[in-house]
């Protein structure tokens, strides 16, 4: 997708703007999961394990939606995929307000996020074909964080006044805004996917697979911690209002991180920013130990969110650069969705009573694994780009000699 062509008629009427909006709305439920998981136990009487399994079903739906989109995206128009995704997303958010049974809630949350996954995948595939995907990913994440901050601030009030029903009805109303996107096309053409030689494609495919694997590992850790972030605070004696305020503040900090990364883009490469962010995230995980104060908890979750937004933007950029066939762009989002689906279930399986500290160990392992794979993929892309540059120079010299 050529940015100048699609931005020529104005930023807010362009396919790029539509893709950014859908990308921002898709993962909104994941962003507020800490408050919702706590509410499952407080308002519906589910155990911590059941709440974790509902969260995993929620996020598993997102994964299935992304994979479905990856399969059909070159057969069905982006607009039709958007319409299907909106229907699932809005309808099942509405039905969630009236589901109180464990199985019923698992079903409707799965279907709601199935729609969200489709919206995420179609938007990500579009943005990955722009001239500067890192920048647009950053803007999309910044917009998504803005939505999340608003929802986190009003969620405690809604739940205290109307219970979970009030929250899900509000979520259904907000998600209905995605219908505005169906009036503007999301442009994904067959010629958006480059046709390179088989040898080059194989090299890029290997790098893309490693990049997708790094996303999967990383987001298992993120999903484990973030789904139980509210409970990590409440076990230290913090109130729901305190944890919600801290989580909302963390989103403000995350917004600053996402916008800063969008501005910086690849000015300093990707390896250095990723390594610095992952190191700071290890510090944040270490701060999320029991017996926290309001200040230490707010600092920990804020640092955790800031660093995940930085890492995510560069991870998506790596996948976009290494995908030459249009296959791995959607699979990158699928890996993210699968990771955050596995994370809560994996954490729930290790939880014993009220001891939820094992989830911090899961995050530690995931962050280390992501760091190693991110270095490998970034180095491989840099080498391939240098090789392509040399090959192009050789071709140009040959043309000069022929003249």
Average model confidence (pLDDT) for the chain? Answer: 79
Cα separation, 16 vs 187, in Å, equals 8
Superfamily of domain 11-402: MFS general substrate transporter like domains (1.20.1250.20)
Helices (H), 176-270: 198-227, 229-234, 240-264
Q: Where are the domains positioned within the chain?
A: 11-402
pTM of the model: 0.70
What confidence tens digit (pLDDT) does each residue in 15-71 have?
777 788 887 877 778 778 777 888 888 888 888 888 888 888 887 898 889 888 878
CA-based max dimension of the chain: 80
253-284 burial, b at 16+ Cβ within 10 Å, e below that, comes to bbbebbbebbeebeeeebbebbeebbeebeeb
Cα separation, 192 vs 3, in Å, equals 12
Cα separation, 151 vs 309, in Å, equals 18
Q: Does position 108 have pLDDT exceeding 90, yes or no?
A: yes
Cα separation, 266 vs 207, in Å, equals 18
Question: Residue 269: helix, strand or coil by DSSP?
Answer: strand
Q: What is the dihedral of CA 145, 146, 151, 153, to 10 degrees?
A: 100
State the pLDDT confidence band at 8, using cuts at 50, 70 and 90: very low
Cα separation, 170 vs 168, in Å, equals 5
Predicted local confidence at residue 390, as pLDDT: 58
Question: Residue 37: helix, strand or coil by DSSP?
Answer: helix
């Amino acid at each position: 997708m050529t940015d100048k062509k699609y931005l020529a008629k104005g930023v807010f009427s362009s396919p790029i703007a539509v893709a950014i909006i859908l990308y921002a709305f898709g993962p909104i439920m994941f962003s507020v999961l800490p408050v919702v998981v706590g509410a499952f136990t407080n308002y519906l009487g589910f155990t911590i394990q059941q709440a974790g399994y509902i969260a995993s079903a929620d996020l598993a739906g997102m994964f299935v939606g992304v994979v479905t989109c990856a399969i059909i995206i070159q057969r069905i128009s982006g607009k039709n995929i958007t319409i299907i995704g909106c229907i699932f997303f809005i309808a099942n958010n509405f039905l969630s307000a009236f589901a109180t049974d464990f199985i019923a809630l698992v079903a409707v949350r799965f279907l709601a996020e199935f729609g969200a996954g489709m919206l995420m995948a179609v938007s990500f595939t579009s943005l990955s074909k722009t001239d500067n995907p890192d920048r647009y990913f950053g803007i999309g994440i910044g917009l998504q964080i803005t939505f999340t901050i608003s929802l986190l601030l009003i969620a405690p009030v809604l739940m205290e006044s109307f219970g979970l029903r009030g929250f899900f009805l509000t979520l259904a109303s907000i998600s209905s805004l995605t219908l505005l996107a169906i009036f503007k096309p999301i442009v994904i053409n067959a010629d958006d996917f480059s046709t390179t030689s088989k040898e080059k494609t194989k090299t890029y495919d290997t790098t893309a697979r490693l990049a997708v694997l790094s996303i999967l590992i990383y987001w298992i850790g993120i999903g484990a911690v973030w789904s139980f972030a509210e409970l990590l605070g409440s076990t230290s004696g913090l109130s729901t209002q305190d944890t919600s305020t801290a989580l909302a503040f963390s989103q403000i900090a995350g917004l600053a991180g996402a916008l800063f990364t969008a501005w910086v883009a690849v000015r300093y490469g990707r390896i250095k920013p990723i390594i610095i962010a992952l190191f700071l995230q290890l510090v944040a995980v270490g701060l999320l130990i029991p017996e926290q104060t309001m200040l230490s908890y707010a600092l920990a979750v804020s640092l955790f969110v800031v660093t995940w937004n930085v890492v995510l933007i560069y991870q998506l950029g790596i996948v976009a650069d290494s995908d030459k066939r249009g296959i791995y762009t959607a699979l990158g989002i699928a890996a993210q969705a699968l990771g955050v689906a596995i994370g809560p279930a994996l954490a729930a399986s290790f939880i014993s009573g009220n001891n939820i500290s094992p989830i911090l160990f899961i995050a530690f392992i995931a962050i280390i694994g992501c760091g190693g794979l991110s270095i490998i993929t970034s180095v491989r892309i840099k080498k391939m780009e240098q090789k392509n540059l040399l090959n192009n120079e050789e071709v140009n010299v040959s043309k000069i000699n022929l003249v």
